[in-house]
Amino acid sequence: MEDRLIENQTVFYSKAEHYWKEVSPTVDGMLGGYGSISSIDINGSKKFLQKFLGEGPGKTGTGCALDCGAGIGRITKRLLLPLFRTVDLVDVTQEFLDKARTYLGEEAKRVENYFCCGLQDFQPQPERYDVIWIQWVIGHLTDDHLVEFLRRCRSGLRPDGLIVVKDNVAYEGVILDDVDSSVCRDLNVLHRLVARAGLNIICEEQQKNFPEEIYQVHTIALR
């Protein structure tokens, strides 16, 4: 679908890397100037995620989570570390991961790995994670790379583990953002890619109370 928009895959990825290298390693930088929505975002994510966590048949464990496109660790700090024993971070920008070590404060000791890698090349360790959280980053992957990444994530899950994708959703089709070199897909396109990856949608919700001028944001639980 995005093939007509992305003429050169190498340029698509390198432009995004360059864009993020110029971004300030702050919460406001991570959120494109919308740092004020961080608490609304985290609270919505926590409410969504806690429905699945616990002990017993079908419940998702709280041992280890992976934060994909983690940046400075905003989600790790406020969502994942309070709910999981350990967390791994993966991001393409080394400066953000370096900042995360101080931004996370005392709780950084429960971060086991900081992986500097693009998700198109990242290989999660098999059966390591209870939850793989992927927020505001899938637009930086081509369709094929997103499908392949989701397949690798599936193999990285522990029993009853969960993949959560939270991202902007276009109203129709696929929209290219030439500034940060990303695409925004509509729900139909996203659902087709999830199905191609062999995953099922367990739950899907729209994030409420975000500013009207930004894209609608959906949270999707997969396994």
Place of tokens 């464990």: 61
Superfamily of chain region 9-222: Vaccinia Virus protein VP39 (3.40.50.150)
Count the Cβ atoms, other than its own, within 10 Å of residue 136: 20
Categorize the per-residue pLDDT at 6 as very low, low, confident or very high, splitting at 50, 70 and 90: confident
pTM score: 0.97
Q: Encode pLDDT of 36-57 as tens digits.
A: 999 999 999 999 999 999 988 9
What is the mean pLDDT of the segment spanning 81-106? 98
Q: Encode pLDDT of 151-180 as tens digits.
A: 999 999 999 999 999 999 999 999 999 999
Q: Break the chain into its structural domains and give their ranges.
A: 9-222
Q: Is 65:130 a contact under the CB 8 Å cutoff? A: yes
Q: What is the mean pLDDT of the chain?
A: 96
Can you tell me the distance from the alpha carbon of 52 to that of 71, in angstroms, rounded to the nearest whole number?
Answer: 25
Quote the pLDDT of residue 2: 63
What is the mean pLDDT of the segment spanning 106-130? 98
Residue 14 phi, psi dihedral angles, 5° rounding: -70, -35
Residue set of the binding site for S-adenosyl-L-methionine: 69, 74, 91-93, 119-120, 135
Quote the pLDDT of residue 1: 55
pLDDT of 210 > 80? The answer is yes
Categorize the per-residue pLDDT at 5 as very low, low, confident or very high, splitting at 50, 70 and 90: confident
Here the tokens at position 50 are 């806690």
Residue 27 phi, psi dihedral angles, 5° rounding: -60, -40
Residue set of the binding site: 69, 74, 91-93, 119-120, 135
Q: String of b and e for 77-98 (b: at least 16 CB within 10 Å)?
A: bbbbbeebebbbbbbbbebbbe
pLDDT of 59 > 90? The answer is yes
Can you tell me the distance from the alpha carbon of 187 to that of 172, in angstroms, rounded to the nearest whole number?
Answer: 8
